[in-house]
């Protein structure tokens, strides 16, 4: 049995906003525009570790690269349709490592958003 199941839905948006240093309202806006992984929970939506990687990628595209919602949807659709799960996970790990090295100026831009 694996110690950690990265697909188990355990994190609310409030916790993800703290992890990403993002405003919860920003994440809710992404959710309203259909940019976050779709969840079936009715009362409180929870997200997995793998979902957090996608949410971080969406946040990066929106706030640092200044891509609009339609552009982000297109990018996510291309990733979903053209990559198998293994390649998608490798891609998201690469993105995660790149996000860890975001410059100080870009982080300040994120915080002032």
10: which strand partners? none
Q: What is the pLDDT along the chain (113 residues), one digit of tens a residue?
A: 457 788 899 999 999 999 988 999 999 999 999 999 988 767 788 999 999 999 999 999 998 889 999 999 999 999 999 999 899 889 988 888 887 776 545 555 544 44
Predicted local confidence at residue 29, as pLDDT: 95
Q: Which two tokens stand for residue 62?
A: 């929106």
Predicted local confidence at residue 26, as pLDDT: 95
* Overall pTM surpassing 0.95 (yes/no): no
Structural domain includes residue 5? no
What total of structural domains would you count in the chain? 1
Structural domain includes residue 29? yes
Residue 48: domain span: 11-112
Residues 6+ apart with CB under 8 A from 33: 69, 73
Q: What is the dihedral of CA 47, 10, 5, 21, to 10 degrees?
A: 60
Q: What is the CATH number of the domain that holds 28?
A: 1.10.1660.10
Other C-beta atoms closer than 10 Å to the C-beta of 55 total 24
């Amino acid at each position: 049995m694996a110690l950690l199941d990265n697909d188990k839905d355990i994190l609310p948006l409030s916790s993800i906003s703290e992890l990403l240093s993002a405003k919860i309202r920003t994440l809710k806006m992404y959710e309203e525009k259909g940019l976050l992984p779709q969840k079936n929970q009715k009362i409180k939506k929870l997200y997995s570790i793998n979902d957090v990687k996608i949410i971080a990628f969406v946040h990066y595209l929106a706030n640092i690269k200044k891509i609009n919602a339609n552009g982000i949807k297109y990018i996510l659709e291309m990733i979903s349709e053209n990559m198998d799960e293994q390649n998608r996970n490798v891609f998201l790990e690469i993105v995660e490592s790149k996000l860890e090295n975001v410059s100080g100026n870009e982080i300040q831009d994120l915080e002032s958003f």
